[in-house]
Structure 1
Amino acid sequence: MQGGNRLAHEFFDLDQSDSYFAPDKLAGIIETTPTRANHVSLAVVLGAIVGSTSVNTWRHPHATAAAYFTQLAAWGYPLSDVEQIVLDTHTDHPQTIDAVEAETDGPAGDEDDVIDE
C-alpha cells in the first residue's frame, strides 16, 4: 500500500514527506475538503494497482492487472499494445475494448459502466 500512497501523492501533485512522522498530505486534503475523500481513496487504490504493475506485467498477467486494464478501457482510456496483451492473454479476462462496449451496451467510458470481477 505504501507504493499506492506515494503514487496517490503524485496524482495530486503533492510531495510526500520522507519522514515517517510527518503529517500525510492526503489526509490534509480530506480534512480541508471532506467531499474529496472518495477521490483520495480512489487515488490510493489506483496508485496501489499501478504500483503492482511493471514492464513485465504483459509477460505474466495477473487478475488484478487484467481487471484494472479492463476498467480503464471501459472508462475510455486507449490501451497500449502491451496493456491489450494483458487482456488478450489472461484467461479470466480475454476482453478487448469492443467486448467491453458490447457488455455495457454502449461506448466504453459511460459513467455508469463498472465491470465487476
Structure 2
Amino acid sequence: FFFGMTRCAVLIVVLWCCFIAKWNSEAESVIPREKICGGDYDCVVMRSKGFMLRLDLPDLRTATVQDVLRRLPDWVSPPKERRVLMHNGRRLEAGSKLAEYGVMLNDDIHIEDSQMLEHRDDL
C-alpha cells in the first residue's frame, strides 16, 4: 500500500513539473514578441531605398510572402506590380511561407524592383 501511494505521489509531482515547464516556456515565448514587436504578434522589418517599416504579422509560421505584399502600404516603392521581396539574398516566391525561407522575428526583408533585378542579372 505504501509503495503504491509513493508511486502515485511521484507521478503527480512529475506531471505537475511538466505542466509548469510547458506553461513557463509558452510565457517566455511571448515576452520577446511583446518586447520586440510591441504586442502579442510577430513582426518583420521591411527595407527599401529611403525607408524602413516594421510590419506586424499574426504568425510568422503561417504567413506567406503574398500576405506581406498585401500588407504593404501603397506609398511604398516600387509599384505593387514590380515588388520583389528578398531575405538574406534569396528571392521570396509569392506562394511560399516565410518560415520556408527561415524568416524569423524582426528579420529584415528587402523590397526590390523586379526591373532593377533583371538589369542586374544581365550585367
- TM normalised by structure 1 equals 0.30
Q: Which has the higher strand share?
A: 2
